[in-house]
A and B are shown apart, each in its own frame.
Chain A
Amino acid sequence: MTSTVTVVEHIMSANDRLAAQNRAELETSRVLGVNVLASPGAGKTSVILRTIEVLQESLQLGVIEGDTAAVTIDTDKIMSAGMPAVQINTGGQCHLDAVMMGNALPQMPLADIDLLIVENVGNLICPASFTLGTHFNIVIASVPEGDDKPYKYPNIYRSIDALILNKTDLLPYIDFNTEYFRRGIEILNPDVHFFPMSCKTGEGVPEWADWLRERVAIFQKNA
């Protein structure tokens, strides 16, 4: 006999359930989690290092570094900046998922941390589908990637709270229409916070750090 069984289950439900566990673990320790998404080389590690520079006076940070290969370059940079860092090697996978995040959390001194930054694997497509349990997502775009990216990869920009446009020091050398770019982001996400930045000159770093500090303060007040 054949029959039809109604299922109606979200395909990512297993990952989402684990992400909810990760979220609960973060909240038990009053840690705000941020998932950083970007293409390879957009400046994720550079932005994190700049953020540590400015925020280390007032906040304790921790960093989880996702990489497709077993190289510790980015993790070493964070540790030499004096912050705890854990490396996740995805074994070639194009994204972090909630399982990998759950395995990394026990290696983090969560009790001592206020803000946990997760550097996802450099990729604009896959990480958008896999929630980790962090409280919000940000994207780092960079000027050399071109101003049409929001139109070509609309998915990743829809669920983010903030967008950093990095490498603004290169604007004089590259045809990049900031208004066109920004409009593409805002079409599906009119409330996104937009931070033009240059990790080279430091321009825009204080505005971003202020916003992040504020988010941590609000979170800890409500936690």
Chain B
Amino acid sequence: MHELAITESVLDIAARHGRQANAQRVTDIHLVIGQLSSIVDDSVQFYWDIVSRDTICEGATLHFERIPAQFLCLDCHHTYEFQQELSACPNCDSIRVKVTAGEEFQLQSIEIEENDAAPADP
């Protein structure tokens, strides 16, 4: 259910940056989402079509770049990726591990069609 709130946040950010750049239309939105961030792409896409209606982001394509989760063992400095399930260090069995990637939750960039007219006064 929280995908709706997240989708609204994405719209707010994209529309704000689009307006600042004098966009007529936002055509593409690039999201970077770590594997440990719990959102479902399909649900965001579903809500997107509804919440973006009648905004400068209407019809924009959402691109999801998924970053795999990565852990660093604090005891033996081995790095390893998240497999199916959370696991201790496969090298030394330590549970003192740190997440080094996989928590990303960002709107990276947007692609826009600019207004032909001169940019509005700032």
Residues of chain A touching chain B, judged by Cβ–Cβ distance below 8 Å, are 1-15, 92-95, 97, 125-126, 128-130, 150-151, 154-155, 158, 183-184, 186-188, 190
Contacts and interface: CB of A to CB of B under 8 A. Distances in A.
A7 B1 contact: no
Interface of chain B, helix or strand or loop or mixed? mixed
Nearest to B7: A11
B55 interface: no
Interface in B80-120: 85-88, 95-97, 99, 105-114, 116
A179 to B, nearest CB: 12
B53 interface: no
Contact of A2 (B13, B109, B114): B114
A5 B21 contact: yes
Interface residues of B, number: 38
B66 interface: no
A129 B95 contact: no
B110 A7 contact: yes
A188 B97 contact: yes
A4 B38 contact: no
B31 interface: yes
Interface of chain A, helix or strand or loop or mixed? mixed
B27 interface: yes
Nearest to B27: A2
Contacts of B1: 92-95, 126
B50 interface: no
Contacts of A2: 27, 111-114
Given A5-B21, A8-B106, A158-B99, A129 B86 contact: no
Given A7-B107, A11-B107, A95 B86 contact: no
A141 to B, nearest CB: 15
A198 to B, nearest CB: 26
B51 interface: no
Contact of B9 (A4, A15, A184): A15
B6 interface: yes
Interface string B56-81: 00000000000000000000000000
20 contacts: A1-B113, A3-B111, A3-B112, A5-B17, A5-B18, A7-B17, A7-B108, A10-B106, A11-B10, A11-B31, A13-B9, A14-B12, A94-B1, A97-B5, A130-B2, A155-B37, A183-B95, A184-B86, A186-B95, A187-B95
